[in-house]
Amino acid sequence: MSDNRDNMMEEQIRNSMENIPASLRPENIEQRLASMNLQEKYARSLSQDIPNENISAGSMNGNKKQSSGAKKVVIPILVAAGVLLVAGLGLGIGLTRNRAVDSDNAVESSQMVVDSTKKPSIFSTSKETDNYEMAYNYLKDYKKHMEEEVMVDYDDVDYAVEETADAAESEGASNAAANQTLGATAGADTKSEEESFTDTNVRTDGVAEADIIKTDGKYIYEYDTYTEHLYFYSVDDGKVNREGSVNVLEDDYFFKEMYIYGDKLILLGTNYDSTYYYSYNWTDNRTFIAIYDISDKGEPKLIDTMEQSGSYDDSRMVNGILYTFSKKSFDLDKLRKKDYGTYIPDVDGELVENDDLFVQKDIYNGAFEVISSLDVDKASYIDKMAILAGSDTMYVSSDNIFLTDYTYDWSSFSYGEETKILKISYKDGELEYESKAKFPGYLNDDYSIDEYNNYVRLVTTYRDDSWTNYNALYVFDENLDKVSVIKKMAEGETIRSARFMGDTAYFVTFRNTDPLFAVDLSDPENPEITDYLKIPGFSAYLHPYGDGKLLGVGYDTDSTGWVNCIKLSMFDINDPYDIKEEDTKILYDYQSASVLNNRNAFMFNKEDGTFGFSANAEGYYYLEEDWFQEEYEEEYDTIIENYDEDKEGAYYLVMNYDDKDGFQILMDEKIGADDYGDGWNAMNDTRGIVIGNYIYVVQSGGGIKSYDTTDYDLVDECD
């Protein structure tokens, strides 16, 4: 890349002084040279050419590893005079830096360590890329746009990254088949051999997600987000006993969720700098990981801690490797080019290296997505990466991480009509950039994108030239090259939920009614809409329910699209050319449900088909209003008949479905106060766990109640 940049600079100098950056104009060069210190002048004197034979074969074909040591600067003779000035100014034209610990450029104020082990850029093949330089320039320009609204011509700033020559071959097909056997324990790394149990509901089978409540089938682990305590409960045939607790309130650390892995508990959260409370300074936040030995439930022991830049964003765990995502922003008034700690994130005290940094182009994002992989058994990091991208949606398949960003038009200061997507593989903890693409519109959530048999399928809502909403389905290959597309579906509507099930995609769009679409993807090059079903309301969450059935949880609405209350739908999808809504259940008493805010709150027991979630009864406070009676004249009598005006607050519901009797409510137990705020918090902080023949309803900070699943009578409770 250095040769190309040198040629570009030569052309600019030869043809037009107007295109030369201000720092290179003759009137500014002398002043800059005079201000250089002795170390900078000495560094310039060491510049030399790199013989071609020193370029390793690994760097030519995209292999990852390369020997460490000081990097050297390529200075073509053709533009020696001009480029030497640029190199001396540190403007990155053919210039990279030695970041060994003893380097003159080591960070001073941040006191972070930069790993001297050098890897070739994961975003290029044989050419050097100064991503530090790109990050610095991007953040400086971002600051200008925010504070001064100065327009920058990004066509003159090459933030784009070359694709790797040989993308790693995906193993999606074999892993997808293997993951089918992991569905019952997705999110669990240990399992009781005596009794089956439900675990955290996750997006991808075999890819665990953290939550505030966890179980291993013998113990239940609760994290109280309010008092910052971990509680450990033993459970046996409905009996509950608290075994121990840990006060994890440390300085300004606020934990969020956890994993259970063998005899280890991994807790994740954010350190809010103490100055935040007075200055609203988010830039010093750090993500904190604490690993506890819980082999003795009465006396858990903290065995290790790690940190990384930014506020905790999300995480996943696969085969004992923890992948942590954090959002890191910097104080844009304190950017210092030679002080890398002012604009480069770190993981466990080591700055993310130049070659593990990526600056996305044509987006509006001032925060890095910092990704780390941690071997939990060894309590040691495997890899790390930081990307100025990933501000919209993150999806983690069994093989890859996908990050998306809505595009931004810097010339008009407005968001564009496309989304950019990056693909990053994470096999065995090694993070590797693979490819990128873009598509019109935006994703509803991470259920709207799926990877299967080396193909990436997604459904998106976009606007055409007349600004009319449409929806589309795209299929990409493993290199994110477009294979096929179906466009202009459901005019004027937006996607509200999606579920990819093998070779079939199901998704719901909504404006005033709820069309459920079915698309056959068995031939990726020729996807086919097989059927669609229009019904009142819409499903905001879809879940596979046994053979040939799809459960929808969403809202009942009127003819104008006004949301009334929670609605359950069971779809018969045995024949993709003739999908049907077999049964519905309108929960008139409940206006919100935890599963619609957080998939982890959904309980599904594959042993008997029962499912559960918490819901909040907020009340029809306008029930007696004349306008309401007039608007709902046809439904009013039904609403009055089924509505319990005395029901307020949070409740936990367990339901079942069968072909004969349809939906049945098996349990409807109050778990929260009548107050709206308390009820909302109780709804979101409660989980249901089935172990054997008992369901344990666990509320963060509120203890546990157990019920016999034969009659759902209360068996035991423990604070």
In this prediction, residue 678 carries a pLDDT of 78
Q: How far apart are CA 44 and CA 438, in angstroms?
A: 40
Residue 20's pLDDT band (cuts 50, 70, 90): very low
Q: Residue ranges of the alpha helices (H) in 46-119?
A: 57-61, 80-88
More confident residue, 348 or 186: 348
More confident residue, 478 or 634: 478
559-616 tens-digit pLDDT: 666 777 899 999 999 999 999 999 999 998 899 999 999 999 999 999 999 999 999 9
Cβ 508 vs Cβ 498: under 8 Å = yes
Closest-CA residue to 255 (of 266, 243, 244): 266
pTM: 0.77
The answer on pLDDT for 474 being more than 60 is yes
Length of the chain in terms of residues written: 719
Q: How far apart are CA 568 and CA 675, in angstroms?
A: 26
The residue to which tokens 């919209």 are assigned:
392
Section 499-503 average pLDDT? 97
637-665 tens-digit pLDDT: 777 777 787 788 999 999 999 999 999 99
Closest-CA residue to 545 (of 692, 662, 693): 662
Closest-CA residue to 596 (of 472, 508, 709, 492): 508
- Strand spans (E) along 157-236: 213-215, 219-224, 229-236
Q: How far apart are CA 658 and CA 673, in angstroms?
A: 33
- Cα 281 to Cα 275, 277, 329: the distances in Å are 7, 8, 10
The answer on pLDDT for 84 being more than 50 is no
The residue to which tokens 């300004």 are assigned:
252
The residue to which tokens 């991470």 are assigned:
446
Q: How far apart are CA 396 and CA 676, in angstroms?
A: 34
Mean pLDDT, the chain, whole residue set: 78
Written as one string, the DSSP assignment of 430-480 is --EEEEEEEEESB-SSGGGEEEETTEEEEEEEEE-TT--EEEEEEEE-TT-
CA 306, distance to chain mean position in Å, is 20
Cβ 496 vs Cβ 539: under 8 Å = yes
Cβ 145 vs Cβ 154: under 8 Å = no
In this prediction, residue 561 carries a pLDDT of 67
